[in-house]
Amino acid sequence: MSKSNVKPATGKLGVMVVGLGAVTTTFMTGTLMTRKGLAKPVGSMTQYDKMRVGEGADKKYLHYKDIVPIADLNDIVFGAWDVYPANAYESALNAEVLKEKDIEPVRDELMAIKPLKAAFDHNYAKRLDGDNVKTGTRWELVEQLREDIRNFKKENNCDRIVVLWAASTEVYVPVDETVHYKLADLEAAMKADDKEHIAPSMCYAYAALTEGAPFIMGAPNTTVDIPAMWELAEKTKMPIAGKDFKTGQTLVKSGFAPIIGTRCLGLSGWFSTNILGNRDGLVLDEPANFRTKEVSKLSTLESILVPENQPDLYGADHGTHTGYYHKVRINYYPPRNDNKEGWDNIDIYGWMGYPMQIKINFLCRDSILAAPLCLDLVLLSDLAARAGRYGIQRFLSFFLKSPMHDYTKHEVPVNHLFQQYVMLKNAIREMGGYPADEAID
């Protein structure tokens, strides 16, 4: 039997989520229903996946919780911040993702989850207009959020806290070396109330890490994807993960692109379009917010099918365009609400350059796919913290659209779903005291 060197998951785990919308209320309701034995956490790796540990005669297939100490669902306490004052029960009904019969049994628990005032800047999400908001400079917001975390931890008798961003996509914040590269510069900008370079989400991340809580970025925001935040994570010895939950179309892309690559087929173009009608779609209807999402969705393909590595297969020359053509579109379409639809049109070519096409139509439910990711990211980030892992958690790339990586050192992120799965399994093996015995080829 191997020996895990991870601290045990004792006491309560506080899960404080930024944003109490469709994704969050679906995550909370499903977790609470699962606890009562009234629902099944389908889609959650931590609850269902079995992986191999040991080799040869010692080979076993075990659930994650039998390899490493993962927090029990019964020990989770939920909290939230939101610009709208509605409690989790009201928000779950408003989101219209789940049927009433799947919300009612946990009505009391959901009603008790009342959102704290959010650190919000209308300029970062122009389509949202809530009044449950904090006031103050960026630094004052950090101080207020830190106090929120301390109070929540104390009032709910929590042993540990994890902070998860499941709120809207902010407008695109380009990385600025004079502000975002060094922690001292970031802090100075917060104290100077630099609203242009300091997004509200950065206040949450800074507050979480400083209060000893891992931080997970579930939107494509720049937030923790900057060297100053990596420095803070090193200083506080806390894990960070991001960015953007990989739920629908990008999941398909990261799993399907390897088919084209493995089979050595050529790619001339990949056109992706989406329609969705929830609050996320409304916010993304604003071009500046879409830009943030576009950057994250475009990055997936380029590191799986690399034109430089296979010019014959991916270096197709279309007049002025070198390499395959890759386009991503998101359209706000209210009738669909949370049931988004993704279309992928893939133009490939085979033997002697003859063209073929692949069409994928994924009619998915955004929050139903995101909820298990929230659970897994929270439990695995908490695990990483107890294992003494800090900084960027690359093993969590499996769950994220645009995995964090050190671009200052020209590191290329792993976007290939099956390679990401190997990274996830190896990290759990290591934390469980087993050798990380699977290679990423």
DSSP secondary structure letters along 137-186: -HHHHHHHHHHHHHHHHHHTTEEEEEEEE-SPPPPP----HHHHSSHHHH
* pLDDT computed for residue 322 by the predictor: 67
pLDDT above 70 as % of the chain? 98
Tens-place pLDDT, residues 183-194? 999 999 999 999
What pLDDT score does 4 carry?
77
Torsional sign, CA 170, 175, 181, 185 = negative
Q: Is residue 337 scored above 90 in pLDDT?
A: no
State which H helix or E strand residue 272 sits in.
strand 266-276
Determine the Cα–Cα distance for residues 243 and 275; give it in Å rounded to an integer.
Answer: 21
Nearest-5° Cα angle at 195, 191 to 198: 75
* Residue 58, SS3 per DSSP: helix
Query: Is 199 found in the same domain as 321?
Result: no
209 phi, psi to nearest 5 deg:
-60, -40
Same domain, yes or no: 269 and 382 = no
- The pair phi, psi for residue 106, each rounded to 5°, is -120, 25
- Say if residue 310 is in the same domain as residue 372: no
Which residues pair with residue 345 across a beta bridge?
271, 359
Task: Report whether pLDDT(1) > 70.
Answer: no
Structural domains counted in the chain? 2
Residue 184, both tokens: 């001292």
| Interatomic CA distance for residues 362 and 360, integer angstroms | 6
Please give the pLDDT value at position 290.
86
Q: What is the pLDDT of residue 321?
A: 53
Residues 322 and 395 in one domain: no
Q: Taking the chain, what is the end-to-end CA distance rounded to the nearest angstrom? A: 28
Helix pair 183-191, 200-210: axis angle to 10 deg: 120
Other CB atoms within 10 Å distance of the CB of residue 291: 15
In this structure, are 263 and 231 located in the same domain? no
Q: In degrees, to the nearest 5, what angle opens at C-alpha 381 toward C-alphas 379 and 384?
A: 110
Last residue of a domain, one of 363, 386, 416: 363
397-429 pLDDT per residue, tens: 999 999 999 999 999 999 999 999 999 999 999
Task: Judge whether 280 and 169 are in contact, CB under 8 Å.
Answer: yes
Domain boundary among 363, 393, 422: 363
Q: Give the torsion sign (CA, 117, 120, 125, 129).
A: positive
Position 6 in a domain = no
Q: What is the mean pLDDT of residues 289-293?
A: 85
322 lies in the same domain as 391? no
In a domain, 189, yes or no: yes
Mean pLDDT of 370-376: 98
pTM value surpassing 0.75: yes
Determine the structural domain holding residue 313 and report its residue range. Answer: 249-363
Please, are residues 305 and 297 in contact by the beta-carbon 8 Å criterion? no
The answer as to whether 437 is a domain residue is: no
pLDDT, residue 303, reads 87
The label of the residue with tokens 């929590």 reads 158
Tell me the average pLDDT of the chain.
94
Residue 438 belongs to a domain:
no
Name the percent of the chain lying above pLDDT 90: 86
